[in-house]
Amino acid sequence: MTDRPHDPRRRRVLATAVAAVAAVPFANGLLARQGWAADLPHLSEDDPTASALKYRHDAADAPRSKKSGVAAGDQYCHNCRFIQGDSGQWRGCDIFPGKAVNADGWCTSWLPKA
Ligand code: SF4
């Protein structure tokens, strides 16, 4: 063991380096996910699952009703807990893997973001 004196600057530099390295996988995953979503084919309203869940590209055309305490007019894909990413008109959705849904759309699986 060494008897080196405690150096707070060294500790801060090491803590910053560890935090930066730990953040890389999350940043890469977020960027990859958003880029990936932009390349996805758009979900068709005629897709059997989309049809069963009454998905519409325009939520105004969907049979929305008050759900989880949220007024029907305030329910959109962009504020659904299953939407992926925070920007873009077309984004991935956990309910429709491999397809992009319209941020202004809606389906019966809608739930508010947690
Ligand atoms: S689950 Fe949510 S984000 Fe996905 S299509 Fe339905 S309302 Fe839109």
- Give every CB contact of residue 68 below 8 A, 6+ residues apart in sequence: 111, 112
Ligand 1 in reach of 83 Cβ (< 6 A): yes
Instruction: Please report the atom of ligand 1 found closest to the CA of residue 107.
Output: 6
Q: How far is CA 1 from CA 4, 5, 7, 9, in A?
A: 9, 12, 16, 21
Q: Give this prediction's pTM.
A: 0.72
Question: Which domains does the chain show, CATH number per domain?
Answer: 8-102 (4.10.490.10)
The string of pLDDT tens digits covering residues 3-21 is 566 676 766 654 544 444 4
Tell me the C-alpha distance between 6 and 72, whole Å. Answer: 60
Measured in Å, residue 4 CA sits from the centre of ligand 1 at 58
Q: Provide the pLDDT for residue 39.
A: 86
Q: Is residue 70 scored above 50 in pLDDT?
A: yes
Ligand 1 in reach of 77 Cβ (< 6 A): yes
Tell me the C-alpha distance between 82 and 62, whole Å. Answer: 17
Ligand 1 in reach of 80 Cβ (< 6 A): yes
CB 76 within 8 A of CB 17: no
Determine what percent of the chain is predicted with pLDDT higher than 90: 65
